[in-house]
Amino acid sequence: MSKPVNVGDACTGCGVCVTACPFGAITIVGGRAQIGDACRVCGACEPACPMKAITIKKSDDQQGFAEWRGVLVYAEQREGRVHPVAYELLGKGRELASTLGEPVYAVVAGYGLDKAADELVKRGADKVIVYDHPTLATYRDDPYSQLLAEVVRGLKPSIFLIGATSIGRTLGPRVAAKLRTGLTADCTSLDIDPQMKVLLQTRPAYGGNIMATIYTQNSRPQMATVRYKVMTEAKADPTHRGEIIKKTVDPAKLQDRVRVLGFEAAKEQVSIVDADVVVSGGKGLGEPKGFELIQQLATALGGAVGASRPTVDEGWIEYRHQVGLSGRTVRPKLYVACGISGAVQHQAGMKTSDVIISINKDKEAPICRISTLAAVGDLYEVVPRLIEKIKESKAGGKP
Amino acid sequence: MTAGLNIVICIKQVPETTEVEFDKETGRLKREGVAAVINPFDEYAIETGLRLREKHGGVVKAISMGPPMAEQALRDAIAMGCDEGWLVSDRVFGGADTWATSLTLAKSIQLTGPHDIIICGLKTTDGDTGQTGPEMAEHLGEPCISYVSQIGDVKDGKITLKRNLDDGVETLEAPLPLIITVSKDVGQPRLATLRGRLVAKKAVIKTITNKEMGMNPKELGLDGSYTRVTKIFTPEPHAGGEVIEGTPNQLAEVIFQKLKEAKIV
């Protein structure tokens, strides 16, 4: 099976491509570049070749997708309330759709969705497909993925975006596999390639140490799950008009193998993802009890408690507090990192916070380089004084 | 139900560290000298499988798709307590995205015999997608439950379990056979025992190539993938601000002023 990378007769075996290849897939054999099995068709060699001997066969049938138009956004909801990631996707979706000169669609499934549908129109959807039925009141992979696949087959959107929430990350692959198309997980950036008009899907890999840009070839729609709190929300515009299409739902035709027996809501009032202020603790706390101080500061600031991965791995605090690539991404107004060195993986989960304050003994720690303000000191000495000042100002502010 | 469960664990061999070095001049990933281990999330899948076997009896098969060197990951899985190791390896499988990987794995699992439950880790530390499990479910026509945090009863061909969602924990009941992906909450993976290591050393790892699967090579590996990587780069570091030193009180005061400036307090 030949790779789409072709080495032409102009090749002099100079070896420039060998070093250009990120995957070490190219070797010089008999004075000529040979593309090996490790090749991922990343395209790095093509521009690197000084002889222009390397050509990559671009997917030839992108043109065959002319009937696939528009950006479809999945609007996740619980009890009729749309998850804010859907508004972020509508914001990004509008941008992509404008570049392409195509419409924006939303699809929502659940029960009691009139308000949700109206809101999706205000947030920019030109057409909202609604599956509103008591049987859909609780999310289940089987019926939801079946309905989404049905919508895509009818609507034929060129792009289909799903929020990379817990539900989105399990629903997305089910839908993509049903549709026999590609899916890029957990994207943090989306763009349209100006020449090819394809969706460039950029995502972190290797724990955030590298970024990869991916596109969908030979299939449509181009599907991606997109990380929450990365794109900018579409603001509600009451003057925006869109069509709401209510679909009939026949429970007898829905595949439905998994029964939901119960749901226990998380105890925290505010999850770290939604909090305006997140105060996080790391290994610098020295012991699990250190999180009591973190909690006190979080309470004083009306925020939630976050944690670095090592503290979670050590069992100092539950996983749901974990910020970072293998935990949650947060984008609060204020992020306070206490005793966190700030590995790239942690940064991947918090670096888009508006204001970052770190308190750390080591001024060489990576966290200091990305902090709006990095205080070099002992958190056990600084934090209690800070809490005092906050409490004093509150007491002073409300006599 | 017949005695015991047929349990399949999907594992992947990954670099021990995700801090892959990236040569900025050549733009090449430096992978030489980085040890390869079982994907840490998959160890939780193995643990889940072993606990199920302890409770219900049966067989735990570890299966891995990868280059021939992935055999070591399967031996490590056997050292932890898995009964069998299956290596899915063929040059035509190379360069697969999650679609092609899940298809190849689904087809090869069918070659290992009947199964009651397939267990995957939450995601891998290299690819970070978490998509292979749910996509495999579609290929096999079985239900899938992701982010499982706790396994409950298995009886009358059904399983109850809990799974983590963003805003709480769901309790579910599903028919066997099915696919689950497990979170770290299922329980700390056990370490390999000395005896396990001896068994693993002698174990025969069975290999599945496309000869056994008989698939059209166009459906496999890079050719069978719908996604293509077009660019790889290092993320931009976040631009920082000021670094301050001083007494604890001074530091607290500067931070407090910053909070006021940002209208937090």
Condensed to tens digits (0 to 9), the pLDDT of residues A307-321 reads 999 999 889 998 889
The reply to whether A305 and A388 lie within a common domain is yes
Lowest mean pLDDT among A163-177, B70-84, B215-229: B215-229
* Predicted confidence (pLDDT) per residue in B109-162, tens digit: 999 999 999 999 999 988 889 999 999 999 999 999 999 999 999 999 999 999
Look at residue B231 and tell me if it is in a domain.
Answer: no
Mean pLDDT is highest, among A195-204, A270-279, A323-332, B42-51, for B42-51
Look at residue A271 and tell me if it is in a domain.
Answer: no
The reply to whether A318 and A179 lie within a common domain is no
**Angle B115-B177-B220 from CA coordinates, rounded to 5°:** 65
Q: Is the dihedral of CA A325, A326, A331, A335 positive or negative?
A: negative
Residues A349, A325: contact at Cβ < 8 Å? yes
CA B136 centroid distance within chain: 13
Contact A266 B232 (CB under 8 A): no
pLDDT of residue A328: 86
Look at residue B241 and tell me if it is in a domain.
Answer: no
Look at residue A243 and tell me if it is in a domain.
Answer: yes
The reply to whether A53 and A197 lie within a common domain is no
* Predicted confidence (pLDDT) per residue in A225-255, tens digit: 999 888 999 999 999 999 999 999 999 999 9
What is the average per-residue pLDDT within A366-377? Answer: 93
What is the average per-residue pLDDT within A194-214? Answer: 88
Range of the domain at B170: 5-219
Contact A209 B20 (CB under 8 A): yes
- Using a CB-CB distance cutoff of 8 angstroms, which residues of chain B are in contact with residue A390? 256, 259, 265
Look at residue B77 and tell me if it is in a domain.
Answer: yes
The reply to whether A19 and A44 lie within a common domain is yes
Q: Where does the pLDDT of residue A1 fall: very low under 50, low under 70, confident under 90, or very high at 90 and above?
A: very low
CB-based contacts of B50-53 (< 8 A; 24+ apart in sequence): B50/B80, B50/B81, B50/B82, B50/B190, B51/B151, B51/B187, B52/B5, B52/B7, B52/B117, B52/B151, B52/B154, B53/B4, B53/B5, B53/B7, B53/B81
Return the structure tokens found at B232: 């790889």
Closest listed residue to residue A18, CA positions, set A6, A2, A29, A8: A29
Return the structure tokens found at B156: 């009358």
The Cα–Cα gap between B163 and B147 comes to 5
pLDDT of residue A61: 52
Domain count, chain B: 1
The reply to whether A236 and A281 lie within a common domain is no
Choose among A208, A266, A389: nearest Cβ to B167: A266
- Using a CB-CB distance cutoff of 8 angstroms, which residues of chain B are in contact with residue A160? none
The reply to whether A29 and A114 lie within a common domain is no
Pairing relationship of beta strands A210-216 and A199-205 according to DSSP bridges: antiparallel
pLDDT of residue B238: 59
What is the average per-residue pLDDT within A33-38? Answer: 85
Closest listed residue to residue A342, CA positions, set A372, A306, A308, A311: A308
B103: CATH: 3.40.50.620
A69: CATH: 3.40.50.620
Choose among B29, B137, B225: nearest Cβ to A22: B29
The Cα–Cα gap between A308 and B257 comes to 26
Lowest mean pLDDT among A19-33, A289-303, B45-59: A19-33
- Using a CB-CB distance cutoff of 8 angstroms, which residues of chain A are in contact with residue B233? 210-211, 213
pLDDT of residue A331: 85
Look at residue B155 and tell me if it is in a domain.
Answer: yes
A48: CATH: 3.30.70.20
pLDDT of residue B20: 66
Residues A14, A26: contact at Cβ < 8 Å? no
Look at residue A371 and tell me if it is in a domain.
Answer: yes
CA distance A221 to chain B (A): 11
Range of the domain at A372: 277-392
Domain count, chain A: 3
| φ and ψ of A385, to 5 deg | -65, -40
Mutation pick from B238, B244, B245, B253 vs chain A, by most beta carbons of A within 10 Å, is B238
**ipTM score assigned to the predicted complex:** 0.90
pLDDT of residue A399: 40
Residue A62 has pLDDT above 70, yes or no: no
A309: CATH: 3.40.50.1220
* Predicted confidence (pLDDT) per residue in B167-194, tens digit: 899 999 999 999 999 998 899 999 999 9
Q: Is the dihedral of CA A134, A135, A140, A146 positive or negative?
A: negative
The reply to whether A286 and A368 lie within a common domain is yes
Look at residue B254 and tell me if it is in a domain.
Answer: no
